[in-house]
Amino acid sequence: MTEPHYLKGLNEPQREAVTTINGPLLIIAGAGSGKTKVLTTRIAHLMANGVDAFNILALTFTNKAAQEMKERVEKILGNNDARNLYIGTFHSVFARILRGEAHKLGYPANFTIYDTDDSRSVLKTVINELNLDDKHYKPNIVHNRISAAKNALVGPAEYATDYYIQQEDMRANRPAIAQIYAAYAARCFKNGAMDFDDLLLKMYELLKTHHDALHKYQTKFKYILIDEYQDTNPVQYQITKLLAAMHENICVVGDDAQSIYSFRGATIENILQFQKDYDDVKLVKLEQNYRSTDTIIKVANEVIKNNKGQIPKLLWTENATGEKIKLVRTMTDNDEGKFVADTIQEQKLRNHYENKDFAVLYRTNAQSRSFEESLRRMGIPYKIYGGLSFYQRKEIKDYIAYLRLIVNTKDEEALKRIINYPVRGIGKTSLEKAVIIANEQNTTLFEVLQSAAANGFKGATLEAMQNFVTMIRYFQTLMATNNAYDVAVQVGKHTNLVKELFNDKTTEGLARYENVQELLNSIKEWTEMPDNEDGEMVDKSLGSYLQQITLLTDADKDNDPDADSVKLMTIHAAKGLEFKCVFVGGIEETLFPNAMSINSREELEEERRLFYVAVTRAKEKLWLSYANARYRFGSLVQNEPSRFLEEMPDSLLDKTYAGGGARNNAGNGFNNGSAFARMQRGMGYSDVDAAEKKYGPPPAKKASSKPSYMPATPPPPKVVEHIPSANFEPSDPHDMEAGQTVEHQKFGFGKIVKIEGGAHNPIATIQFQHNGEKKIMLNYAKIRIV
């Protein structure tokens, strides 16, 4: 029998792992040893041996990784059967299953998924309703506690009665968290919503309490594969154990040295436990690294061997020795940023690299700023993963809140967000009143608005509420027959959302308008994606769209993965990825290892594993940098180099100092004599010239792909500054009416064209003599009747 082509090139243990079809299989392996490759090939091998894709469940760490796996399996097999795989993150796969099963747990099938912001906002409401102080019971702190509890399978009742948990909360002087947890869980349920943690917890509950469901999925998932197993938490572990119990065909791959999520409840005990959970576990170790140079592997090994708790294994490579690791000291974080940008530019010229060959990694999100600034200044395209992403921007969240409310009118968070945006005269007081009524009647806020008259609302407020409800109902009828994009466009039109942003001609307003256009583009693209052929109903509805965007992980928010840009991300986000050239910044005591982690061996060892993950992302070149001082929390802080740097043997390092402080150039951060530094200082171009002659100029920047119907960015409007009259005293908004001449403190004299928005929040359109027409919110403006 001839060997299948996909086995060629695999080493012996890799081959064994791929071709072991039945029984529990544990693959423990070092970084870059082909774990993910083995998992992918194994899926292809199962399918090549007659296993139906419908019977395979593969769990990955990001949806992007799942997508890549699917594509590779398709490529190996030369068909598109991989479409039928159940493959994705724990959260996305379980959300998909729960859509069909949620009614068994009392949730509507169209339940909303709350992201972190939503959860915190619900928590804030609940905390206030319990008459607790949200300054002390900070929603993010409370949320972390609840999240940890859920991931450890501790429900509200158990939380309230667990002695140790209660002791901990007492010590933190937050004894009421148990109460908040219970109220929060009840509120989410009432709102028909699950938070991220619920997607796991409810899946577990489903399998535990509904034997028909357990049987169904146990039967279905004959083969289960899990990547990055070291980072699964107890609830994930329990779910997979339940699912695998019937067939016991479960294959997990992990590296204990890369376990970096214990703060989220992940525990490497899972790896150790695996061998006890099943009989006859086959253990495969992969120790040959195919990713990195020998020098990078040696450095990584030297550092990680300082950790006590680890499964012994050796990582080696046949790859070339490669260059020494560059250890770079800079004066400040800004110098560090400049150094990175300069070096990228130089490497592109000298060594033919492209932007996408570079990644800049850091311990905390806030560190991205100095790198961003320098890259921007040098005109190097870059992309940030994490941080404030597209979907966290206000205008996007507002727009999506409308879509969410249309799909699920119980979604109180969405409703509160947009009930008076754009302004429609439903003020804060009216909203608070409606919330109280909803609580009293144990009904939803939307229902209170729906029966606003019966609930005692009158006049303009009543009218505004009725109009609002009618509008949402109208969108719902649209939703019945239209796809997500068509509904979304109508929402933009009828709510005046798009127009309102379009009319705001400030630079920020324009950016917001463009973002909303970009959102509509992306919805359109999604609705036009090729149909799913896995036998399920083709679903391009608004509900289905919302589900997939809420589940995007940070790494998935990269809307153009092929774009040639430098990637910036935290080390956590870099897990599983590889790049030719890697910079790791901020390797300083208190930052990395983080100040919070230096008090216990466990935490310090986790930081060291994080460092190991960072170093092992690099294929060819690695720069490690640290600054003598950096701005943190608003002031300049002096730092010692990280202890991890001392753990690396000098013989593998090439130490340099890159700028800052005493040098007299204009601060490009690169004064170790490099040609590029000289070029930057305008002192000579010879080396760079030579490089350009040899390799040609760096590639031209790609033209922006902005759709043509977006307006060109106009210069920010100039305001003709006005010096207010000596007797300037703001007038009462109630006294103002169309036709009056008014004086605005900043925009000067003008005439009121009309007043809209109702008595609570009147908005005047005013034609100013020198500053054109503007909409002014009278409640906030410094304006007087002349």
With CB under 5 to 8 Å by kind, the binding choice for 420 among ligand ATP, Mg ion, none is none
Among 348, 329, 151, residue whose Cα is nearest residue 238: 151
Residue with tokens 């941080």: 387
Least distance from ligand ATP to the Cβ atom of residue 294, Å = 14
With CB under 5 to 8 Å by kind, the binding choice for 255 among ligand ATP, Mg ion, none is ligand ATP
Check the CA dihedral 276-280-282-283 and report its sign.
positive
H or E element that contains 189? helix 177-190
Q: Is 337 in the site for Mg ion (CB under 5 A)?
A: no
Annotated binding-site positions for ATP: 29-36
Residues in contact with ligand ATP, shown as a per-residue x/- string from 285 to 324 under the rule CB under 6 A: -----xx---------------------------------
Residue with tokens 């890159």: 658
Per CB under 6 A, contacts with ligand ATP among 618-637 are none
Instruction: Give the integer Cα–Cα distance in Å for 70 and 538.
Output: 19
Q: Which of 6, 18, 28, 32 binds ligand ATP (CB under 6 A)?
A: 32
CB atoms within 10 A of CB 429: 10
Active-site residue (options: 14, 15, 36, 411): 36
Q: Is 36 one of the catalytic residues?
A: yes
Q: Which of the stretches 32-40, 148-156, 157-165, 203-211 binds ligand ATP when contact is defined by CB under 6 A? A: 32-40
Considering the complex, state which of residue 73 and residue 549 has its C-beta at the smaller distance from Mg ion. Answer: 73
Among 157, 249, 237, 236, residue whose Cα is nearest residue 199: 236
Q: Is 258 one of the catalytic residues?
A: yes
Q: Is 30 in the site for Mg ion (CB under 5 A)?
A: no
H or E element that contains 241? helix 234-244
Q: Is 576 in the site for Mg ion (CB under 5 A)?
A: yes
Contacts 24+ apart (CB under 8 A), 260-264: 260/231, 260/571, 260/572, 260/575, 260/606, 260/609, 260/610, 260/613, 261/231, 261/233, 261/572, 262/602, 262/606, 263/606, 264/147, 264/148, 264/151, 264/233
Considering the complex, state which of residue 206 and residue 615 has its C-beta at the smaller distance from ligand ATP. Answer: 615
Active-site residue (options: 258, 332, 367, 409): 258
Return the DSSP state at 715.
Answer: P
CB 330 within 8 A of CB 303: no
- Full 3-state SS string of 543-590: HHHHHHHHCCCHHHHCCCCCCCCEEEEECHHHCCCCEEEEEECCCECE
Pairing relation of β-strands 566-570 and 193-195?
A: unpaired
Q: Is 187 one of the catalytic residues?
A: no
Q: Which of 14, 270, 517, 656 binds ligand ATP (CB under 6 A)?
A: 14
Least distance from Mg ion to the Cβ atom of residue 428, Å = 50
Q: Which of 35, 383, 424, 609 binds ligand ATP (CB under 6 A)?
A: 35
Q: Is 576 in the site for ligand ATP (CB under 6 A)?
A: yes
CB 761 within 8 A of CB 777: yes
Q: Which of the stretches 34-42, 388-396, 420-428, 446-454 binds ligand ATP when contact is defined by CB under 6 A? A: 34-42
Q: Which of 18, 37, 274, 488 binds ligand ATP (CB under 6 A)?
A: 37
> How long is the chain?
786
Q: Is 35 one of the catalytic residues?
A: yes
With CB under 5 to 8 Å by kind, the binding choice for 605 among Mg ion, ligand ATP, none is none
CB atoms within 10 A of CB 381: 14
Q: Is 343 one of the catalytic residues?
A: no
Least distance from ligand ATP to the Cβ atom of residue 30, Å = 7
Per CB under 5 A, contacts with Mg ion among 35-94 are 35-36
Encoded tokens for 185? 């869980």
Considering the complex, state which of residue 10 and residue 785 has its C-beta at the smaller distance from ligand ATP. Answer: 10
Q: Is 558 in the site for ligand ATP (CB under 6 A)?
A: no
Least distance from ligand ATP to the Cβ atom of residue 561, Å = 16
Q: Is 36 in the site for ligand ATP (CB under 6 A)?
A: yes
Q: Is 514 one of the catalytic residues?
A: no
The CA angle 715-717-719, to the nearest 5 degrees, is: 145
Considering the complex, state which of residue 31 and residue 207 has its C-beta at the smaller distance from Mg ion. Answer: 31
Considering the complex, state which of residue 41 and residue 680 has its C-beta at the smaller distance from Mg ion. Answer: 41
Active-site residue (options: 115, 118, 195, 228): 228
With CB under 5 to 8 Å by kind, the binding choice for 91 among ligand ATP, Mg ion, none is none
H or E element that contains 596? none
**In sequence order, which residues have a C-beta less than 8 Å from that of residue 13 and are 6 or more positions away?**
284, 285, 286, 287
- Which residue type is seen at 522? S
- Which residue type is seen at 16? E
Least distance from ligand ATP to the Cβ atom of residue 33, Å = 5
State the residue number with the nearest CB to Mg ion. Answer: 36
State the residue number with the nearest CB to ligand ATP. Answer: 34
Q: Is 10 in the site for ligand ATP (CB under 6 A)?
A: yes
Among 388, 420, 385, 387, residue whose Cα is nearest residue 401: 420
Least distance from ligand ATP to the Cβ atom of residue 70, Å = 15
CB atoms within 10 A of CB 646: 10
Least distance from ligand ATP to the Cβ atom of residue 36, Å = 3
Considering the complex, state which of residue 291 and residue 338 has its C-beta at the smaller distance from Mg ion. Answer: 291
Backbone dihedral angles phi then psi of residue 615, each to the nearest 5 degrees: -65, -40
Which residues have a catalytic role annotated?
Answer: 35-36, 227-228, 258, 617
Contact footprint for Mg ion (CB under 5 A): 35-36, 576
Binding region for ligand ATP (CB under 6 A): 9-11, 14, 29, 31-37, 255, 258, 290-291, 576, 578
